[in-house]
Amino acid sequence: QVQLVESGGGLAQPGGSLRLSCAASGFDFSSNTMYWYRQAPGKERELVAMVLTQGGFTHIADSVKGRFTASRDNAKNTVYLEMRSLHYENTAVYYCNVKVDRPHWGQGTQVTVSS
């Protein structure tokens, strides 16, 4: 059974940093592209980052490019999202995703940016 468990969210001040983790199990992690999405209050869920199987190519959404980076550790079956220089607008629930026959989602981790 595919399982994705996000962690690392919490409260951060504007300009601060957080590192999110997604622990994966139940599938061949190293053979699958991993994704980060987020959903802010009142907004549609949007793609934040994509990390190919070996991490050699990543896509970062324009809205966070230059501040967020995504990576993976295939030995640990874990994908990361490093968030720096956080803005109020980055407040959202962040989700890990993988497409194994169908999309699979983690439970999400809340990120709140507030002063």
Tokens of 23: 């622990």
Tokens of 109: 């981790």
3-state secondary structure of 88: helix
User: Which whole number is the average pLDDT over 82-108?
Assistant: 97
What pairs with residue 44 in β-bridges?
Answer: none
CB 86 within 8 A of CB 17: yes
pLDDT of 55 reads 67
C-alpha 106/C-alpha 84 separation (Å) is: 22
**Chain centroid offset of residue 72 CA:** 11
Handedness of CA 12, 35, 23, 108 (dihedral sign): positive
40-62: pLDDT as tens digits: 999 999 999 999 987 678 999 99
Query: CA angle 69-85-32, nearest 5°?
Result: 15
The average confidence (pLDDT) of the chain is 96
User: Which whole number is the average pLDDT over 61-81?
Assistant: 96
24-35: pLDDT as tens digits: 999 999 999 999
Tokens 């999309």 belong to 103
CB 3 within 8 A of CB 96: no
pLDDT of 29 reads 96
Neighbours of 47 (CB within 10 A): 13
User: Which whole number is the average pLDDT over 7-24?
Assistant: 98
90 pLDDT more than 90: yes
pLDDT of 57 reads 86
